[in-house]
Structure 1
Amino acid sequence: MKKLDQIPQKLLELKKPPEALFYTGDIGLLDSQVNVAIIGTRKPNPYTKALTSTLAKELSKCGANIISGGALGVDIIAHQNSLPKTIMIAPSSLDYIYPSANAHIIKEIAQKSLIISEYEKNFLPKKYSFLQRNRLVIGLSDIVIIPQADLNSGSMQSAKMALDCNKPLYVLPHRINESLGTNSLLQKNLAKAIYDIYDFIASLKLATPQYDAILDFCSKNNDFEEAYLKFGDQLLEYELDGKIKRENNKVIIL
């Protein structure tokens, strides 16, 4: 555990910036150009689990850091699927692992990524420290995604922080009577819905030269008809350019 020499500028812009920060891991991750917060319920449904996993993986492939709070549910799914491009903000000092149920993943984050805390030592989480942690998650982020949240939840308090800080806020669309918090954000036009992960990432213009949405999609789903429905004549251009070929209506990446 070390003390940061300098508080990141994004956090200095908070109404109550941290007086000091302590860290373990790769401090170079703070130099990333784009940080995306993914936070949400501790009890995600299967739909949320699957899409949170995909969001974290695809965003990190494009060079974005995934910021979250290490909690059960959405937070830890986001961290695990974006390693090593992830930053965890802890609600305790770094000499404690919280929550202990996530210990194996948190240890991996400490080794491969970065964990930050406001608390130097011997500090167990308090009710207020979760809110303090959340403000740092939002403050450090450029974009905030809340895949699932109940009304009056901590995630909804984080949504308010994001809106107060003028951070772009995105949610997953859910069925009626599910994820009432995020659905209320949509209803009030306070957040935008992510209907297609690849289109969403493309709209953010994050992709690095190594990232190719078409090839990435085809590596996971090689059905030519489905790929054509999604990408249209772009897929045919890839075929003409020799990037892919068709065999038995399957896409083969060359």
Structure 2
Amino acid sequence: MKKYPQNLSFSGNLELLKKTKISIVGTRKPSKYTRQFTQLLASTLSKHNICIVSGGAMGVDAVAHAGAGSSNTISVLPCGIDIKYPAVNKNLLSDIERDGLLLSQFEDGFKSRPWSFVTRNELVVALGEVLVVCEAELGSGSMRSVEFALEMGKEIFVLPQRLGESSATNELLNSNRAKAIYDIDKFVSRFSTELVPHVKKDDFLEYCKTNPTYEDALKKYPSKIFEAELNGEIIIMNAKVIVK
């Protein structure tokens, strides 16, 4: 950082600061695909003792914190540490305060301002070994985080997205300023001191991730569909199969 904070307020477990940390940011309105793989990325990192840092906002931030689990995540706030903002994430932030760590550069009672989000974003980026931008559009707040990462000389990673979506992450790839995470286990192994086991993929669950119709899934895997539903691995919604 060009200028380090003179004071930091905290509530929670300061031991998390000693861990290897990955910063995850992104849009407040992520697609279903982004939610699914942000959750998978954060949970896989957390399972290998890597702490997730994010900003406590709606969307990608909240999914990343939840995926990591409240005991292995750090949330940097754009307001006083006594204010749970945004209100929709009040329970999530309370869980992180109890089990994980909340950080703030602002005094108690300070309400967020447009500039305080930028200040918050800089600290989120500074705390991580690298920055992962899961989904973002050009001109968004996530791109300010990207600028901070470039200034700090930190590597930037993104989730691969479809053409016409997530314009910022696609542009970062196109300009060679970021790398895509095509294999989560391989990405995690870069930062984990533990061996990331190779888990053989379950063809049935991989098929279900394509959200087939219930009728098609029943025809293809008649003996597995009921068992998976009973075990809570999948749910049926609007005649579609969804992996939980």
Percentage of identical aligned residues:
40
- 1:128-139 residue pairs with structure 2 within 5 A? 128-139=115-126
1:62 CA drift (Å): 1.2
What do the CA deviations read for 1:55-79 (whole angstroms, capped 9, x no partner)? 0000111111100000000001000
In the alignment, structure 1 residue 180 sits paired with structure 2 residue 167: yes
In the alignment, structure 1 residue 90 sits paired with structure 2 residue 77: yes
What do the CA deviations read for 1:30-77 (whole angstroms, capped 9, x no partner)? 111x11000000000011000000000001111111000000000010
User: Structure 1: how far apart are the matches of 2:83 and 2:156?
Assistant: 31
What do the CA deviations read for 1:166-213 (whole angstroms, capped 9, x no partner)? 1110001111110000000000000000111112222x141425xx42
Match of 1:54 in 2: 40
Letter in 2 for 1:193: A
Give the secondary-structure state (helix, strand or coil) at the position aligned to 1:48. Answer: helix
In the alignment, structure 1 residue 109 sits paired with structure 2 residue 93: no
Task: Name the TM-score, length of structure 1 as normaliser.
Answer: 0.77
Letter in 1 for 2:26: G
Q: Alpha carbon RMSD of aligned pairs, Å?
A: 1.5
Match of 1:230 in 2: none
User: Structure 2: how far apart are the matches of 1:82 and 1:190?
Assistant: 26
In the alignment, structure 1 residue 40 sits paired with structure 2 residue 26: yes
- 1:1-254 residue pairs with structure 2 within 5 A? 14-32=1-19, 34-83=20-69, 84-202=71-189, 204-208=190-194, 212-214=196-198, 217-218=199-200, 221-223=201-203
1:223 CA drift (Å): 4.6
User: Structure 2: how far apart are the matches of 1:207 and 1:223?
Assistant: 29
Task: Name the TM-score, length of structure 2 as normaliser.
Answer: 0.80
Letter in 1 for 2:60: V
1:88 CA drift (Å): 0.4
Q: Which runs of 5+ in 2 are unaligned?
A: 207-244
Aligned residue pair count: 204
Give the secondary-structure state (helix, strand or coil) at the position aligned to 2:150. Answer: helix
Give the secondary-structure state (helix, strand or coil) at the position aligned to 1:81. Answer: helix
Give the secondary-structure state (helix, strand or coil) at the position aligned to 2:89. Answer: helix
1:222 CA drift (Å): 3.9
Letter in 2 for 1:165: M
User: Structure 2: how far apart are the matches of 1:101 and 1:174?
Assistant: 27
What do the CA deviations read for 1:77-136 (whole angstroms, capped 9, x no partner)? 000111211000000001111000011111100010000001121100001000000000
Match of 1:252 in 2: none
Give the secondary-structure state (helix, strand or coil) at the position aligned to 1:106. Answer: helix
Runs of 4+ in 1 over 3 A off after TM superposition: 221-224
